[in-house]
């Protein structure tokens, strides 16, 4: 399948290269990075370090997004929501996109190594390798477990922020990793329910395509419970105080409630629709931001 001539002959601008980095997706990842910096520093981490990690973190995650678009161009062409991506439309040649992505990753790694810590640079590279190598190249087209294992890529941004400040990893940092690890399936399977027909048409074995709506909503509910429980565990280790505990408990309770609202009608025999999945999908993004913000405020002023 070839791109439309108008798209091929159009000249790409900076906005098109920015679109390659998936800025909407990165915004939440970058927020967890910055919040982790405040948690690690127990307050203000310093303007220079904050700017370096923010820019380098964006570049690294953006690089992963670029290579994802390069690798998945064939299936992106067939899906309505991705067909107009710069790589899918032919606006940016694949070689140019790959070069751009490589430069972003090299620049990110060097900046973190020099101006943050070597461990932060390695954590960032590990996130990139997980998303591109494990998720996009290996698992995405082979198994419905793709988002469980490959989704671990999204767990590395808070580790980047943490290690940029401290230079090491402790138990609390791994709690931040675990929160996102168990949050990711609930979040992305809600999205998969919304666009399951698109995934079916291009042969991507997302859970609702392979095993149907019932198993999907059961897994969404289960992972929502996991997420809520793990989110409050830092309090038991005295890493946070009552403020974080209260916010995490309420936010986790609402996450479980929305998952339960999705679970009940589907298990009663109704097909999962986009309208049914949207509330959980949208709230799951807010949930993660609220929990990390609560952690940053709590450790900066109370713990």
Digitized pLDDT (tens) for each residue of the chain, 303 residues in all: 444 444 445 688 888 999 999 998 899 999 999 999 999 999 999 999 999 999 999 999 999 999 999 999 999 888 877 888 899 888 999 999 999 999 999 999 999 999 999 999 999 999 999 999 999 999 999 999 999 988 899 999 999 999 999 999 999 999 999 999 999 999 999 999 999 999 999 999 999 999 999 999 999 999 999 999 999 999 999 999 999 999 999 999 999 999 999 999 999 999 999 999 999 999 999 999 999 999 999 999 997
∠ CA 245-256-220, rounded to 5° = 125
Q: In whole angstroms, what is the distance from residue 251 CA to residue 101 CA?
A: 36
Say if CB 136 and CB 71 are below 8 A apart: yes
What's the whole-model pTM score?
0.93
Exposure of 227 in the CB half-sphere (CA atoms within 13 A): 30
Rg of the chain, C-alpha, whole Å: 20
Kindly write down the DSSP assignment for every residue of 200-266, as one continuous string. HHHT---HHHHHHHHHHHHHHHHHHHHHHHHHHHHHHTTSS-HHHHHHHHHHHHHHHHHHHHHHHHH
Domains, the chain, in order of start with CATH, read: 12-166 (1.10.357.140), 170-303 (1.20.120)
Say if CB 38 and CB 103 are below 8 A apart: no
How high is the pLDDT of residue 159?
98
Non-local (6+) Cβ contacts of 26 within 8 A are: 58, 61, 62, 65
Go through the chain and tell me how many residues it has.
Answer: 303
């Amino acid at each position: 399948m070839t791109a439309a001539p108008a798209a091929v002959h159009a000249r790409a601008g900076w906005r098109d290269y920015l679109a390659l980095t998936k800025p909407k997706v990165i915004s939440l990842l970058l927020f967890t990075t910055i919040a982790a910096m405040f948690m690690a520093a127990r307050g203000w981490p310093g303007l220079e370090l904050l700017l370096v990690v923010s820019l380098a973190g964006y570049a690294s995650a953006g690089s992963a997004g670029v290579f994802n678009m390069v690798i998945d161009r064939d299936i992106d062409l067939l899906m309505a929501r991705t067909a107009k991506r710069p790589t899918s439309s032919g606006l940016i040649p694949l070689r140019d996109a790959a070069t751009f992505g490589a430069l972003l990753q090299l620049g990110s790694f060097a900046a973190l190594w020099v101006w943050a810590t070597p461990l932060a640079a390695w954590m960032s590279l590990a996130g990139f390798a997980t998303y591109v190598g494990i998720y996009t190249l290996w698992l995405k087209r082979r198994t419905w477990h793709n988002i469980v294992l490959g989704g671990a890529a999204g767990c590395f941004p808070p580790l980047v922020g943490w290690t940029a400040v401290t230079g090491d990893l402790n138990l609390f940092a791994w709690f931040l990793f675990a929160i996102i690890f168990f949050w990711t399936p609930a979040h992305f399977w809600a999205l998969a329910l919304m666009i399951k027909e698109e995934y079916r048409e291009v042969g991507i074995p997302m859970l609702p395509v392979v095993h149907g709506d019932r198993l999907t909503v059961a897994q969404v509910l289960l992972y929502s419970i996991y997420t809520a429980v793990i989110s409050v565990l830092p309090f038991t280790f005295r890493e946070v105080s009552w403020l974080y505990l209260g916010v995490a408990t309420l936010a986790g309770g609402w996450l479980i409630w929305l998952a339960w609202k999705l679970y009940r009608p589907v298990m009663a025999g109704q097909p999962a629709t986009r309208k049914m999945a949207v509330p959980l999908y949208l709230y799951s993004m807010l949930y993660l931001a609220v929990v990390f913000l609560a952690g940053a405020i709590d450790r900066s002023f109370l713990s």
